[in-house]
A and B are shown apart, each in its own frame.
Chain A
Amino acid sequence: MTDDLIDRLARDLKPVRPEAVRNRLVLAVAAGSIVAVAGVWLFLGPRSDLIRALTSMMFWMKLAYTVAFAVVGALCVERIARPTGRPGLRLAWLAAPVLLIGVATMVQIAKAPAGGVRTLVMGGSAALCPWLIATVSAPLFLALMWAMRSLAPTRLRLAGALTGLTAGGLAASIYSLHCGETGAPFVAIWYSLGILAPCVVGALTGPRLLRW
Chain B
Amino acid sequence: MNISILYGTETGNAEMLAEDIQSELEGDHDVSCQNLSDVDPMSLVPEHLYLLVCSTYGDGELPASAQPFAEAMEAAKPDLSAIHFAIFGMGDSEYDETFNHGPKRLAELMLAHGATQIGERVAHDASGPEMAEDLAFPWAEEIISQAEERLGAAA
Chains A and B belong together in one complex: no
Chain A residues within CB distance 8 Å of chain B = none
Chain B residues within CB distance 8 Å of chain A = none
